[in-house]
Amino acid sequence: MIEVEALTKRYGSTTAVDGLTFTARPGTVTGFLGPNGAGKSTTMRVVVGLERPTSGATRVDGRRYADLPAPLHAVGVMLDARSVHPGRTAYKHLLAMAQTHGIGKARVREVIAQTGLEPAAHRRAGTFSLGMGQRLGIAGALLGDPQTLILDEPVNGLDPDGVLWVRRLVRELAAEGRTVLLSSHLMHELALCADRVVVIGRGRLLADATVSDLAGESGTLEEAYLRLTSDSVEYTAGGAR
């Protein structure tokens, strides 16, 4: 479970996240939506300890990320699939991650197969297409067999088969009782795979509802999102996004 409680994050005079509260629960795919500059990435970075909150708190399974004894086993994270050394092969990248938590080579081979990376496992990551890079990022998130997953734009760059695969994957993970927080700009895709949607704008909560309840007011999830965010504007300062 992911808990975000009265979270505020400021960069100088810019408030990236402003008193945000929501919970992503086990057995649920929670879609995380907002315009560019709304504070989505900042929120996710605070959850996984890459940023410190100005005030408020975030927890994974009741603990701060920094207090988790084995983070890779607790929460799988893909925030930037491009953050891989371009000279490493996919296999060696995942193996290096695995060794930080005592995870064996067999599990590395499992996630390579699960994410369809077998044909490219021994290619350098710098040669990967955007879609293959996304698969490698997802493989890294799955490596520790975590109960919680945070995936930022996981279908970005994937072909139609890849998009269907991600949809099935997140639904299967939720069906196993895991928590999935999924950020995406593809409203149609979220409408098909998410159970709940958290919408933020200018760092503040705009909606936290089931997909059907939110879409029911406007007819479609996209229409509801546009109505909620119509007065939100883009801004970037000091990493706010």
Same domain, 214 and 178: yes
Neighbouring CB atoms inside 10 A of 33's CB total 26
- 101-108 mean pLDDT: 97
Nearest to 109 by CA among 80, 81, 142, 131: 142
Q: For position 232, what pLDDT does the model report?
A: 62
Beta bridge partners of 201: 204
Q: Is residue 174 part of a domain?
A: yes
Q: For position 231, what pLDDT does the model report?
A: 67
Same domain, 153 and 195: yes
Q: For position 217, what pLDDT does the model report?
A: 63
Domain count, the chain: 2
Contact in structure between 190 and 182 (CB atoms under 8 Å): yes
Q: Is residue 232 part of a domain?
A: no
Q: Is residue 93 part of a domain?
A: yes
Tally of CA atoms within 13 A in the half-sphere of 104 that contains its CB: 1
Q: Is residue 91 part of a domain?
A: yes
- pLDDT grade, residue 224 (50/70/90)? confident
Same domain, 215 and 154: yes
Same domain, 133 and 159: no
User: Which residues touch 84 (CB under 8 Å, ≥6 apart)?
Assistant: 93, 125, 133, 136, 137
CATH number at residue 158: 3.40.50.300
Over residues 49-76, the pLDDT tens digits come to 999 999 999 999 999 999 999 999 999 9
Q: Give the separation between CA 109 and CA 81, rounded to whole angstroms.
A: 19
Where does a domain end: 109, 127, 146? 146
Q: Are strands 179-183 and 28-33 parallel, antiparallel or unpaired?
A: parallel
Contact in structure between 125 and 88 (CB atoms under 8 Å): yes
Structural domain span for residue 98:
84-146
Same domain, 14 and 36: yes
Contact in structure between 168 and 190 (CB atoms under 8 Å): no
Q: Is residue 71 part of a domain?
A: no
Please give the helix or strand (H or E) that residue 170 lies within, else none.
helix 160-175
Same domain, 92 and 201: no
